[in-house]
Every structure is written in C-alpha cells, then in structure tokens.
Amino acid sequence: MSALKVSKKGRELIKMYEKMARAGYERVDQQRVDVAFSDFELRAYRAQIASIFNQYSISTILDYGCGGSDWRASGFDEVSDQSAVEYFGLQNAYRYEPARDIDERRQVDCVVSFDVLEHIFIADVPAVLRDMFSYASKLMILNVACYPAAAKLPNGENAHITVRHPVWWKGMVDCISIEYPTTSVCLICSVGWRKSSMFPVWNANKWQKGKSFVVEM
C-alpha cells in the first residue's frame, strides 16, 4: 500500500476534518452538528449500485472516505434490515477514512466514494483519484456533490471546497481513467440534495477498441 502524498493545504484540511469528526461542526444556518459525517450516503443509491455490482460480479469493495459508514451494521436496507455487506452479497468491505484514522486500503473489485472529492483541495484531486484507481481491479463508483455544503470548516469556509460543474468532474475523471484503462467508471454528480445524474459507465479500453474517434460524453 503506497502512501498518499497530498499538498500542505491538503494535510491542513485533513487536520480540520479530524477536528470536525471528533468535535462536530457549525452549519451555515448557525446550527451545530455534534455527530459529524455519520450518514451512509451510498444508501440512497443502493438499488442502482446493486444492479451495477451484479453486472460486474463485485465481491469486495473499498469505501474511500467512508466517514462513519458501517458496512456490517444491520439496517442498511430498511425493508430487509440487512447490512450493506449482506444487501450487496459482498465477501468483504474495507474502509478508508483519514479523518478517523481508518486505513484498510487494499486491492478490491470496486472502489466506492460518496461525497468525498468535493472535500479535496483542488491541487490534490488528481493524486486522490489515482490513489482510488490504484485499488480498483474492476470498477469505480464515484458520487460528487457539485453544490455548497451545509457544513462549515473550523476556519469558517464552506466544507465543500472544490465545487465544480458535473462536466468539469467528468473531464477530470476521464483524464485519470485513461491511465487505468481496464477499470470501468460510474460517475454520479449531485447538483443539489438528492438531485443527481449518472454519466454512462465507461472505461478507456472501450474508447481504444471502438471504431469511432469521437468519444461521446
């Protein structure tokens, strides 16, 4: 497992996220949240993700930037009361969350990352994406928020520090995915709370093997 190298600002941000995870944070509406980053953001997309996991025969995952998500806790699916591991039929689920000193990074079938990239300092986005790709043997599923957060950093700035248009994120991920041509990518961009759209799943090998030089977005 290689160390992830980020900028000085990136390291400063991790310290702020550590403080937020430990002590809570203030919101832009002046309310306070004492239990930070506790939502299992992936739950809202579970039906779509289950279908994709089945398509790619996913049995192991790495939740990159997992926050407080617990893949083995019951109640992930309200109807069946199954855990996320049970619901998706996984063999193993691993987690990475530097703000909580959790590092189980390793090679898996699929890396999932929900509401993480918008928290990354812009100069570190390529390095973080490369780190994600390096652990994904088959598939990456990324969800990015493209709007300001309700949360504030300890320094008073908005917690979504890299807010960009979905097309910007598609271009960024496209460029890095070229370096990992056998890994398919599912990119979901949210323009508001529970308002999201999914780009068609792609991998760079398909671009190379296709008859056309034009690659549609």
Q: What is the pLDDT along the chain (217 residues), one digit of tens a residue?
A: 567 889 999 999 999 999 998 898 999 998 898 877 777 889 999 999 999 999 999 999 999 999 889 999 999 998 899 999 999 999 999 999 999 999 999 999 999 999 999 999 999 999 999 999 999 999 999 999 999 999 999 999 999 999 999 999 999 999 999 999 999 999 999 998 778 999 999 999 999 888 899 888 8
Instruction: Tell me if 211 is assigned to some domain.
Output: no
Q: Name the token pair of 123.
A: 């100069």
**Can you give the pLDDT at residue 106?**
97
Cα 215 → chain centroid? 25
| Structure token pair of residue 150 | 């309700």
**DSSP symbol at 152:** B
Q: Is residue 76 part of a domain?
A: no
Query: In the chain, how many domains are there?
Result: 1
111, part of any domain: yes
Residue 130: per-residue pLDDT: 97
pLDDT of residue 12: 95
The tokens describing 131, both together, are: 């780190």
Residue 77, in any domain of the structure: no
Q: Which amino acid is at 104?
A: E
Examine residue 215 and state whether it is found in any structural domain, yes or no. no
Q: Is residue 28 part of a domain?
A: yes
For residue 1, the model assigns a pLDDT of 57
Q: Indicate whether 217 belongs to any domain.
A: no
Model pTM? 0.94
Domain membership of residue 201 as a residue range: 8-69+82-206
pLDDT attached to residue 2: 64
Give long-range contacts, CB 8 A cutoff, 24+ apart: 174-178: 174/202, 175/126, 176/126, 176/129, 176/130, 176/133, 177/133, 177/140, 177/202, 177/203, 177/204, 178/204
Does residue 100 belong to any structural domain of this protein?
A: yes
Instruction: Say what the pLDDT of residue 137 is.
Output: 97
Mention every residue, 6+ apart, whose C-beta is less than 8 A from residue 129. Answer: 117, 172, 173, 176
pLDDT for res 60? 98
pLDDT score, position 203? 93
The CATH number covering residue 166 comes to 3.40.50
Q: Count the neighbouring beta carbons within 10 Å of the beta carbon of residue 102.
A: 16
- Contact between residue 62 and residue 135 where contact means Cβ atoms under 8 Å apart: yes
Helix (H) or strand (E) holding 186: strand 184-192
The DSSP code for 73 is S
